Amino acid sequence: MRKLFIKIFDKFLIGLMACTELFSGCETVVEYGTPTADYEIKGTVTDSITSIPIQKARVIVTLTKKYLQQDTTITIVDTLASTLTDVSGKYDIQFKEFPLEEISLKLKVNDEDGAANGGDFASSEKDVVFKSSDLEIKKSGWYVGKATKTQDIKLQTK
């Protein structure tokens, strides 16, 4: 009698385990990563008076992040990308960043070779703002899409 009870109880347990496995699913999908988007800033750097393209000007994109730690605000400036303008004064900077509703960037242009490129130019800074509506949405996993801005810059001589 005891053996019969154990056989029936074993079959009941096996059936119960099979049912719970069936309803719970066999696979658990776990995703690791961070949402990212591609950003691109391109344009032309020219002389403000003659409109002649300026080659070998350094274009730098920075992002300022502010964090509140206890009663102190900590500011961190991250350089996201940097490039030199080509012979026709054109630049194209691409980088990846966490997609926010709005990202405010600084675009700084420095004349690194002085008079060698046709003049000694003062540095210039421009604000570039990307909004989530600027993204061409192409979701694929954590990838959100791409946004592009054109920012032409005119440098003044020193």
Q: What is the pLDDT of residues 104-135, one digit of tens each?
A: 999 999 998 777 777 789 999 999 999 999 99
Residue 12 pLDDT > 90, yes or no?
no
Strand partners, 137: 145
Q: In this structure, what CATH number is given to the domain that contains residue 127?
A: 2.60.40.10
* 123 is a domain residue: yes
* 49 is a domain residue: yes
Give pLDDT tens digits for 142-157: 899 999 999 999 999 8
Strand partners, 44: 90
- Domain extent, residue 51, equals 36-155
* 24 is a domain residue: no
Report the C-alpha gap between 147 and 141 in whole angstroms.
Answer: 18
The reported pLDDT for the residue numbered 113 is 79
Give pLDDT tens digits for 36-76: 999 999 999 999 999 999 999 999 999 988 888 888 998 88
pTM above 0.85, yes or no: no
* 73 is a domain residue: yes
